[in-house]
Amino acid sequence: MMRPLFRWFWVGVLLLPGILSAQTPKSAASAKVVKVQIISPETPQSWAYGDMDDHKLVWDAAKKEFRAQLVFSPGAYAEEQSAVTNRETYDCPFPGVRFDEASQLFIAKTKKGTDVPLAKRIKVVFGTQIVLLPTSRVTIYNFRGKLVVELSGTTDQAYATGTNKWIVRPQGWYLQNAF
* Residue pLDDT, tens place only, 74-113: 766 666 655 456 788 899 999 999 999 999 999 999 888 8
pLDDT surpassing 50 at residue 22: no
CB 155 within 8 Å of CB 105 = no
Q: Considering the chain, what is the average pLDDT of its residues?
A: 77
- The reported pLDDT for the residue numbered 20 is 45
pLDDT surpassing 70 at residue 137: yes
* Structure confidence at residue 21 as a pLDDT band (50, 70, 90): very low
pLDDT surpassing 80 at residue 131: yes
Element (DSSP H or E) covering residue 146: strand 146-154
Show Cβ contacts of residue 131 under 8 Å, excluding neighbours closer than 6 positions: 57, 119, 120, 122
Instruction: Return d(Cα 175, Cα 179) in angstroms, integer.
Output: 7
